[in-house]
Amino acid sequence: MPDLPPENGDDTGAPRWVKVFGIIAVFLVLLFFGLHLTGNSPGGHGSPMDHGSPRS
């Protein structure tokens, strides 16, 4: 692993991979909070496990 960053900078804006990453991240964050707010999150932060039939 190199110890120092490359010297050649890039004067253009954010590279494509950052933009794609950002779009995916925003989508996932919106999906995550959307599911939680609508009560459809996987499992959800459950209630205390003090009811129901025990396993055999």
Instruction: Please state the closest distance from residue 32 (CB atom) to another protein, in A.
Output: 9
Torsion from C-alpha of 9, 13, 18, 20, nearest 10 degrees: -150
Task: Give residues with Cβ within 8 angstroms of 36, minimum separation 6.
Answer: 44
Q: Which of 14, 20, 23, 30 binds another protein (CB under 8 A)?
A: 14
Task: Please report where in the chains the tokens 């932060």 appear, as a residue.
Answer: 45
- Residue 44 found at the interface with another protein (CB under 8 A): yes
Q: Does 21 bind another protein (CB under 8 A)?
A: yes
> What does the binding site for another protein look like in residue numbers (CB under 8 A)?
1, 3-7, 9-11, 14-15, 17-18, 21, 41-56
